[in-house]
Amino acid sequence: MQNYKFTVTGYAGYEEEALRIRNANRPFSRTPQAAAWHYKSLAGAPEPKVFWVRDMANQAVGMASVVYRPYWVDGRQEYFGVLGDISLASDMRGKGIGKQLMLFIDQHLDTAVPAYRGFVMANTAGQKTAASGGWRTEGQLVLHVMPINLLAKAGKMIGKLRAQPVKRGIFTAILKRLLNFYIPKGYSIRLNDTLDENFDGLWEAYPKTGLIFEDRSAASLKWRYLDQPGHDFIIATLHYQNKLAGYAVIKMTDDRRTCEICDLLVAKPHSVECLLAALIIQCIQQYPVIEARIILGDSHPYRKHFWKLGFIRRAIPGAYQSYGPDGRTIDRNLVWMITAGDKDA
């Protein structure tokens, strides 16, 4: 790599350069506002770092970054260095530069911040690059899809209905009847755009032993979803006799035909079906939705609840990986609760 050198800086003072390099090699550009949100340093966390690939004229031709986010590991909170914004020009790929960059990042994690683990959610190319630097694959990402539009075809079994409003009304009644089976008496759902102190109560009471997952305190949820520029997230809250029993964070596609579930948490595991059923009924009533989608890690403890409602597993090219400074690894007996919301935009 004699024609390139690797350096590390903070993010402050390099905002424009980082955004230029990142956007030059991605299909979707990030706005300056979204970049500021992405690189925001949360209270108590180390400052974000940017790792540069520079040519002999000291011009940046590639980069990656690490930002620190609070996670819980077997009941204890710690900060993970979340790897992202890996960006190399197309003519630089396949030459071993990505691997050298990863080794440079590893060296920094080993020496400068040895108390913090690394974490990344990567596509196939990113997974290979991270693996080349010693990052361990902890699991695969799996897409779960509920094809609500296929359920609509059940209306044809009743007869050939010509009046569209009547057909939709019958279909809605059939679907609600099926989903209501999973909603015990006393449960209800609300769609919100705010968070309150009840979220902290739910999170504090949630059992964390044996699990690895991102912090879901009200402050963390507010930063990740409500403060994120360019996205209109909805907080769907499940209540049992007016007490918060769980929530899902969703966003609707621009045409309102797909409900993307980004995150969810329930006080009791058996309430997963209740939350999903109530959410889908609410979405059908408010939007022309034809499917619901969620990405989960393959070991997520809620995954077994989705098939009961008709969600279909679909493999996608993605994985989540970790890096332990000085070779420290995470106990394989711990269960990762990973959702799409763990990936910084």
pLDDT interval class at 316 (50, 70, 90): confident
Q: Six-digit token pair at 23?
A: 């956007």
Q: How much is the mean pLDDT over the chain?
A: 90
Q: Which residue has the higher pLDDT, 239 or 95?
A: 239
Per-residue pLDDT at 92 = 77
Domain 143-317+324-342, CATH number (from 3.40.50.1820, 3.40.630.30, 3.20.20.220, 3.40.50.2000): 3.40.630.30
Q: Where are the domains of the chain?
A: 4-134, 143-317+324-342
CATH of domain 4-134: 3.40.630.30
Given a contact cutoff of 8 angstroms between Cβ atoms, the answer to whether 135 and 82 are in contact is no
pLDDT interval class at 108 (50, 70, 90): very high
* CB neighbour list of residue 292: distance below 8 Å, 6 or more residues apart: 145, 146, 148, 258, 259, 260, 261, 276, 279, 280, 283, 311
Topology agreement, domain 4-134 and domain 143-317+324-342? yes
* CB neighbour list of residue 160: distance below 8 Å, 6 or more residues apart: none
Mean pLDDT across the stretch 331-338? 96
Q: How far is CA 16 from CA 22, 39, 156, 242, in A?
A: 10, 13, 56, 47
pLDDT interval class at 117 (50, 70, 90): very high
SS (H, E, C) 210-260: CEEEECCCHHHHHHHHHCCCCCCCEEEEEEECCEEEEEEEEEECCCCCEEE
- For 25-83, write each residue's pLDDT tens digit: 888 899 999 999 999 988 889 999 999 999 888 989 999 999 999 999 999 999 999 99
Which of 342, 330, 309, 340 lies closest to 148, judged by CA? 309
Which of 46, 48, 47, 54 lies closest to 7, judged by CA? 54
Residue 280 pLDDT greater than 70, yes or no: yes
Given a contact cutoff of 8 angstroms between Cβ atoms, the answer to whether 229 and 261 are in contact is no
Per-residue pLDDT at 159 = 43
Which of 73, 77, 68, 92 lies closest to 10, judged by CA? 68
- For 122-174, write each residue's pLDDT tens digit: 988 889 889 988 999 999 999 999 988 665 444 443 444 444 544 556 666 77
Which of 60, 66, 55, 63 lies closest to 26, judged by CA? 63
Helix 124-132 and helix 97-111, axial crossing angle in degrees, nearest 10 = 60
Tokens 């809250």 label which residue?
Answer: 237
* Separation of first and last alpha carbons in the chain: 31
- For 199-228, write each residue's pLDDT tens digit: 999 999 999 999 999 999 999 999 999 999
Q: What percentage of the chain exceeds 90 in pLDDT? A: 71
Mean pLDDT across the stretch 271-276? 97
